[in-house]
Structure 1
Amino acid sequence: MVSSNAGRRVLLRARLCRIIVSMIAVSVLSFSAEALELSVEIKSGAVVPSGPIRLKDVAYVACDSPEILTGSSSAILRPSGNTITPEDVVTALTQAGIGGVSLRLVMADNVPFRRENDIERWLRNYSGWTGALEVESDGFPQGGRLVPPDSLYPGAKAINLRFDVAGAEQIYPARLRWLLPAVVADSYLRKGVYIKNTDLAIAAIEVRRNRKYYDDPKDLVGMTVERDMAKGDPFTVRITEEPELIRTGDLIRLLYRSGSLLVSTSGRAMDRGALGDRIKVRNDRTRKIVFGIVTGPGTVEVSE
């Protein structure tokens, strides 16, 4: 829980300088050397949909604990008006039950954000999008009625919006930015490395079509990355892979299951595989090549 002294310390810093970098004690444990650091950075100009504002909708959130990262990023902000203050952040974390960490807060003393406008809300609901949608255009007609587009898919970069103005149709080109909180890299990651809990953060990202993003950091720990990643790059299923438990040529343990009977023997992997993969193996005793499921490090189960 955030102490009253800690809250006053944050507010004092906010009054003294435009940009603050503060360490806030959110429990008695936060003064110990073992306390985890929770880092929150908020910049101005975020667009948020109607409804509750989560911290991850407007902030870059990082913590070495996936559980604290998930819980803190989902904390609900309740700002007064269209600006967020350090006190709003501290209050949100307190109400979310975040404790046992030191908070590093990087933000201005008042950070403006924008609620979606009527056109953005209409298009977001029409497309079924659950995140935020930012529509950029040179302007729209006053009093015009938006005509439903023939199709609108999340991730589309642009659209020609049609308006019915006094019975005449007018077309206005618009640029679209589809925003969604997702797990991102908190540091540079080289291709092939295993993902650790210290490599993860959550932030709102611009979504591309036909991409599946991660929203739970726990799902990524232990996976490998298939290409180099810069800080802030979002993790997608295209660039992550379950870690290989078996490589081609490895000496492995073969388990043969037949009903309640389980027989173990040695074998050789003919393929590589992660947990749950179906790979080709060779039984060292019979020299027979069979297929089995990777059930653990160096272990393949064959059903007969």
Structure 2
Amino acid sequence: MVRRTLSLFMSGLLLASPPALGELTVAVTETSEVPGKAVALGDIAEVRGGRAELRDKVRDLEVHRFDPGSTGWRVSGRAIGSALWEAGVSLDKVTTDIPLGARVERRARKVDGDRVAAAVRRHLRAQAGNGERVEVAFPEGKPAFEGVAEDAQLQVARESEGAVRVRAIAGEEVAASKTFPVSVTRQRQVVVANGHLDPGTRIESDDVTTALRESEASRWAVFDSREDVIGTSLLKAVGDGQPVKRSQLRMAPDVRSGDPVTLVYKSSKMHLSAAGVIREQGAVGEVLAMENRDSGERVYARLTGPDTAKVSQRHSSQQGSRP
């Protein structure tokens, strides 16, 4: 009985004794917060004892790295032990103290307005037509997300002419989703008058130039090349710097009644073409009366080239088969 009591007493002394000279004690904090992806042991624990160079080495060991979008980690003794072992630190010389349920949180930062605004602009400009310049403004200030991991991926979708929805994707989950108002201005190079031009003017090369203008009108209503209008005559006056429109010009016809044409019909589900015949003279870009050669059906189609046209409206009646 005396021996057993003495043995327990000696065991208690050994358990309560401080670490031997040269040993390290790693005391993990119950809750920690880190700013970046990497978690160093010194960020979440107090390292005591041992040589100074060894303490510094242990403090710098990376024990965890957050996945994209991940914001929390439950401290793992196995991860700490593995990091120590891979660094060549003898585990016999290290005492670790990890509170039950110890956690590390990754500090969520504001996904700033510049980054969100850049994502919105990239998306809207990618949808622009050829040669079109898109300027995007934010009426309520630059959009931003609060409390989202700074490396979250941003997805942009157009909701309406004046709004976009931005989703912040963290890992495989949507961390945040918000609608932001936008003001979009589209411009493209068009032919404009180089000075005031009166009705009846025959346009020469010095009368017109190209300039950026808001692209409100249909691409067929205006011109992007000076060569398309040089030599034509004006039906209406055009002010200095104003776009020259097809409706203001007496255009030389590109086709005449009876000319052959390929009629093209496009929809979201099909693409058809058929042989046709022009039924009125006109110029490329105009909507003209045409006829399907096989069925005799009268259609209206926009002339997209000297011998091709895109059907825009089908006539309500059929003319019957042509002989």
**Is the TM-score greater than 0.5?**
no
Superposition TM-score tier, normalisation by shorter sequence: 0.3 to 0.5
The structure, 1 or 2, with the larger RCO (C-alpha pairs under 8 Å, 6+ apart) is 1
Which of structures 1 and 2 has the bigger CA Rg?
2
**TM-score with structure 2 setting the length:** 0.34
